[in-house]
Amino acid sequence: MSLPKQPKEAAASGAALDFRAVTVRFPPRQKGDKAFTAVREATLTVGAGEFVSVVGPTGCGKSTLLNVAAGLHRPAGGEIKIFGHVLQGLNRQAGYMFQADALLPWKTAFENVILGLQFRGMAEQEAADLGNYWLMKVGLGHAGDRYPHQLSGGMRKRVALAQTLIVDPKILLMDEPFSALDIQTRQLMENELLALWQADRKSVLFITHDLEEAISLSDRVVVLSAGPETRPIGDFQIGLPRPRDVAEVRLTPAFLELHERIWHAMREEVLKGYAQTLS
Amino acid sequence: MHKPFPKLWLWQLLLAALMFGLWWALTAGNILPPFFFGEPLKVVERVFAWFSSGAIWEHIGITLLETALAFAIGTLLGLGFGLWLALSPTASALADPYIKAANAMPRVVLAPIFAVWFGLGIWSKVALGVTLVFFIVFFNVFQGIREVSPVLIANARMLGASRRQLLSHIYLPSATAWVFSSLHTSVGMAFVGAVVGEYLGSSRGVGYLILQAEGAFDINTVFAGILVLTGFALLLDALVSFAEKRLLKWQPQHTERAGN
């Protein structure tokens, strides 16, 4: 791997992700229109080893925040620090799991998994071993030579997960990665994600519109206001014990109480966001 | 998918026999003058004679060689230019009107110029075929590159891809897929270029045979030439389908292309 493993203390010189008054604008679509301000002065941190979910109404600029964290989109104002260093260009410490399918259709599951290793110039044999190891780890040891179109939605997500984790990023950015899956597959994948995360505690910024998913996975849930000019309006510690089973934890009184509190904070924004989609 | 009716191929064969029968009846009964419309039995006889004497192979060989060269050169050029212009907005903006003009021009009129430049040998035919193939491949690749999903690019960049790796792992395979999707059309066009080129002036090739026969008012040989050409066009098309299946095995089985 290109980045040597460091002890957690050395990496933790500052929060993993530190958004400071980040403002994101998109240029106007037509002449005469005003620039669209998706995010306004958002301040948000993800500590080293912390699992933070961001929830918010549809179309509130959640994905925009992730793109900023990834370095794919440059903010118009404010700055973002990665382990204490101001981010310039792409975020090399982060792995990004997209909402849409991002596997290369002309490569097999195995070839997709080792893509990041190839880009880093890892020796072929070493990459193959690591690739097979990760395929096994996500339960696809038997499906390495299949093409994405021959895999189910859940299997494709497993490949994408292995593809993202194999390069061992310190930060994991996830944009509603399981939203396209049916509920059973989704809970399986969530449990699997938690198990993988538990093993080496990466810092995770997880975007979702599903509050239950957010609570059952996270250490902290941040609520965003309805767009445009989105900003965080609530920050909730989730003290539920780990390891968790995402299906079972939903039935505990502590979960229900958290759900009610956060939902109370969200409700108004969700209604606002919904009203905007109608207008 | 259910079949319209059983033993379809048998009925298709019957239809062909019926058409030939009709042709034969009309010309034998002098309803259509055989001088202009040919006589199917003599046409078949001519085709048979060509193959049994082996005289036809030299001409078919030349025509297929021209087709293959036109296809290969046109595809490589189209792929190269398509990639270049799709990835360089300045170059594509600059070249845009000229490409449109060159594509709109009926390129068959270039055949005499090519004959002057490259002589009456195979290269003037190859050049004509290249101009036909190039634009099909070029536009497909250009469009294909422009439509590569931004998520694929973003994902590869996050995984650490350099610009060159983006080219070799994403743009090139994506462009190749588009080249293959236009394969049937471009191989057909290479064949058209070869035959039309021969027809306009040559000393060998199936187009040359047709030209010669026409000059001698030997309408049966003209029809025989057309029959042979059609047969080999079908053969090429089957070859392309075979290659497609082997090389695009990563693609979901798409529905059969319609017509052509």
How confident is residue B2, by pLDDT bands cut at 50, 70 and 90? Answer: low
| Segment A74-124, tens digit of pLDDT | 888 889 989 988 888 898 899 999 988 899 999 999 999 999 999 999 999
Is the Cβ of A166 closer than 8 Å to some Cβ of chain B? no
Test A102 with B249 for CB contact under 8 angstroms: no
How confident is residue A4, by pLDDT bands cut at 50, 70 and 90? Answer: very low
- Among A91, A102, A106, the residue with its CB nearest the CB of B151 is A102
The mean pLDDT of chain B is 88
- Among B165, B169, B250, the residue with its CB nearest the CB of A105 is B250
Q: Which residues from chain A sit within 8 angstroms of residue B249, using beta carbons?
A: 147
Is the Cβ of A95 closer than 8 Å to some Cβ of chain B? yes
> With 70 as the cut, is the pLDDT of residue A10 above it?
no
Residue B226 lies in a domain: yes
Residue B239 lies in a domain: yes
Which CATH number characterizes residue B177's domain?
A: 1.10.3720.10
Min Cα separation A105/chain B (Å): 7
Residue B17 lies in a domain: no
pLDDT value of position A108:
94
Test B158 with A119 for CB contact under 8 angstroms: no
List the single residue in A with minimal CA-CA distance to B175: A106
| Segment B235-246, tens digit of pLDDT | 998 998 888 888
CA distance A112 to A97: 13
Residue B85 lies in a domain: yes
> With 90 as the cut, is the pLDDT of residue B255 above it?
no
User: For a pLDDT cut of 90, what percent of chain A falls above it?
Assistant: 45
CA distance B160 to A50: 24
CATH superfamily of A8-93+170-278: P-loop containing nucleotide triphosphate hydrolases (3.40.50.300)
DSSP H helical ranges for B88-182: 89-104, 111-118, 122-146, 150-158, 163-166, 172-181
Domain locations along chain A: 8-93+170-278, 105-168
Domain that holds residue B121: 58-247
Residue B22 lies in a domain: no
Q: What total number of domains does chain B contain? A: 1
DSSP sequence for chain A: --SPP--HHHHTSS-SEEEEEEEEEE--SSTTSPPEEEEEEEEEEE-TT-EEEEE--TTSSHHHHHHHHHTSS--SEEEEEETTEE--SS-TTEEEE-SS--S-TTS-HHHHHTHHHHHTT--HHHHHHHHHHHHHHTT-TT-TT--GGGS-HHHHHHHHHHHHHTT--SEEEEESTTTTS-HHHHHHHHHHHHHHHHHH--EEEEEES-HHHHHHH-SEEEEEPPSSSB-EEEEEE----SS--HHHHTTSHHHHHHHHHHHHHHHHHHHHHHHHHH-
> With 50 as the cut, is the pLDDT of residue A6 above it?
no
Residue B75 lies in a domain: yes
Cβ atoms within 10 Å, residue A208: 23
Residue B18 lies in a domain: no
> With 60 as the cut, is the pLDDT of residue A2 above it?
no
Residue A97 pairs in a beta bridge with A174
How confident is the model over A33-38, as a mean pLDDT? Answer: 80
Q: Which residues from chain B sit within 8 angstroms of residue A106, using beta carbons?
A: 173-174, 177, 250
pLDDT value of position B257:
39
Residue B11 lies in a domain: no
| Segment A110-166, tens digit of pLDDT | 999 999 999 999 999 999 999 999 999 888 989 999 999 999 988 999 999 999 999
